[in-house]
Amino acid sequence: MITLPAWLRPNLVIKTAAAVAVMGFFDASYLTAKHFLGGPIPCSIFKGCDTVTNSVYASIFGIPVALLGAIFYLTWLILIIWYLDRGGEAIKKNLIWLGSAGFLFSIYFVGVQALVIKAFCLYCLISALTSTLLFILSLILRFRP
Amino acid sequence: MNNSKSLFLWGGLALVIVLALAIGLSLAGSKAPLTGGELTVPVTADDTIIGPATAPVTIVEYSDFQCPACGLYFPLVERLMKEFPNDVRLVYRHFPLPQHANAIAAASAAEAARAQGKFWEMYRLLFTNQDAWADKPADVALRTFRGYASQLGLDLVKFDLDLKNPVVLARINTQKTGGVNAGVDATPTFYLNGQKIANPSSYDNFASLVKAQLSH
């Protein structure tokens, strides 16, 4: 067993989730800012960002997926901070719905990148990773005795 | 209720939002500063150049004809050349990326046109009609390039020979290697008087960088 410093131990899982959500939020904010302000995303040797973020799959009903992602992570953060501030087991137990939605979206988008566009975007993959982590953490929060 | 804890939590959230905005804005940026990278292969007579030799501003572009971003920058660069006819010259260097299946063929077509003095005409056709050949099978793309060649009145026999000329491929590779050595890892990459710039987010942005060079 690793012993953690006392201040870190309570709510460790939810604090980890907060850290992951912050990462996801920075990532999605960057992609959103790029979408609205940046010029075209250059084509990189590490292939893909141009093809992915310039593709028709980058928006849903005209709303850029990156913006939806930023809102998603912000929702996570607000709920976590609400919980840490005021408590509320219901929030903790129901984060799984948010987690599952993010996870399903990530599967869909990784699938689109792999099978349809046949190109990957690094920042999009980072987001898939952070939302998968959030999903796992939300499972722990829900089912941990 | 512990007030300082609340303040810490919600203040932290506000800080995260502000930071995300600041990072997003500065990275995606409306400003395109010089980023410090230096052009390692100097511009020589062997380069593919358009614009007056005496122009005070030289733009070197590492580019890939099949790259969508390069296609989107093409009209910006055209406009720069038009609006600064005496002040800007453009050097085009090939940087075909591996994920673009027709990029080398397109670069070869431009080089084969160059052998007949029509590089820039082919360059314009390739970028203007990028959608017509970019994601097509190799044979379709090749047929399209031959179509452009005949449209430009090129000698097609010579064009076909040049397409397969190892010298052409070597030239493309040499230019790309020069870019790789300078740290180019994406297309388009622009150098303004030998200094790498972050890609401008708009024409005005690009033009202001050129003007800044002119006022030096």
pLDDT tens digits for A51-100? 666 666 777 777 888 899 999 999 999 999 999 888 888 888 889 999 99
Supply the pLDDT for residue B183: 85
- Mutation pick from A46, A50, A91, A118 vs chain B, by most beta carbons of B within 10 Å, is A50
Supply the pLDDT for residue B31: 45
Residue B181: pLDDT over 60: yes
Report, in angstroms and rounded to the nearest whole number, the Rg of chain A calculated over CA atoms.
17
Contact state of A50 with B12 under an 8 Å Cβ cutoff: no
Say whether both B59 and B125 belong to one domain: yes
- Mutation pick from A29, A53, A75, A117 vs chain B, by most beta carbons of B within 10 Å, is A29
Q: How far is Cα A90 from Cα A94, in angstroms, rounded to an integer?
A: 6
Say whether both B7 and B49 belong to one domain: no
For B205, the closest chain A residue by CA position comes to A39
Predicted TM-score of the model (pTM): 0.66
Find the distance separating the first CA and the last CA of chain B, reported in whole Å: 61
Say whether both B4 and B77 belong to one domain: no
The whole-angstrom distance between A73's CA and the closest CA on chain B is: 11
User: Which two three-digit tokens encode residue B111?
Assistant: 């080089």
Q: Which of A76, A85, A75 is nearest to B6 (CA)?
A: A85
The whole-angstrom distance between B159's CA and the closest CA on chain A is: 29
Say whether both B42 and B131 belong to one domain: yes
Mean pLDDT in residue range B158-185: 94
Say whether both B7 and B112 belong to one domain: no
Please state, for a pLDDT cut of 70, what percent of chain B lies above it. 94
User: Which two three-digit tokens encode residue B83?
Assistant: 């609006």
Supply the pLDDT for residue A47: 55
SS3 B199: coil
User: What is the SS3 string spanning chain A?
Assistant: CCCCCCCCCCCHHHHHHHHHHHHHHHHHHHHHHHHHHCCCCCEECCCCHHHHHCCHHHEECCEEHHHHHHHHHHHHHHHHHHHHHHCCHHHHHHHHHHHHHHHHHHHHHHHHHHHHHCCCCHHHHHHHHHHHHHHHHHHHHHHCC
Mean pLDDT in residue range B199-208: 90
More confident residue, B69 or B117: B117
Q: What angle do CA B153, B110, B64 make, to 5 degrees?
A: 145
Contact state of A43 with B187 under an 8 Å Cβ cutoff: yes
The whole-angstrom distance between A116's CA and the closest CA on chain B is: 13
Query: Which contiguous run of DSSP H or E holds residue B151?
Result: helix B138-151
Mean pLDDT in residue range B143-171: 96
Say whether both B122 and B43 belong to one domain: yes
- Domain A16-143: CATH superfamily, name plus number: VKOR domain (1.20.1440.130)
Contacts of B68 in chain A (CB under 8 A): 40, 43, 50-51, 54
Supply the pLDDT for residue B25: 73
* B19 close contact with A: CB closer than 8 A: yes
- Residue carrying structure tokens 């099949």: B66
Long-range contacts of B210-213 (CB under 8 A, 24+ apart): B210/B57, B210/B59, B210/B80, B210/B84, B210/B87, B210/B88, B213/B56, B213/B57
Contacts of B98 in chain A (CB under 8 A): 45, 47
- pLDDT bucket at B34, cuts 50 / 70 / 90: very low
* B95 close contact with A: CB closer than 8 A: no
Say whether both B7 and B58 belong to one domain: no
Domain boundaries, chain A: 16-143
Q: How far is CA A20 from the centre of its chain?
A: 8
ipTM for the assembly: 0.72
Say whether both B194 and B162 belong to one domain: yes
Which domain CATH number covers B175?
3.40.30.10
- Give the domain range for residue B10: 1-30
Please write the tens of the pLDDT for every residue from B35-59: 558 888 999 999 999 999 999 999 9
Say whether both B81 and B44 belong to one domain: yes
Total number of domains in chain B: 2
Contact state of A77 with B70 under an 8 Å Cβ cutoff: no
User: Which two three-digit tokens encode residue A26?
Assistant: 């920075």
* B100 close contact with A: CB closer than 8 A: yes
Contact state of B19 with A38 under an 8 Å Cβ cutoff: no
Mean pLDDT in residue range B190-213: 91
Say whether both B3 and B88 belong to one domain: no
Supply the pLDDT for residue A39: 64
Please write the tens of the pLDDT for every residue from B106-142: 999 999 999 999 999 999 999 999 999 998 999 999 9
Say whether both B43 and B61 belong to one domain: yes
Say whether both B16 and B47 belong to one domain: no
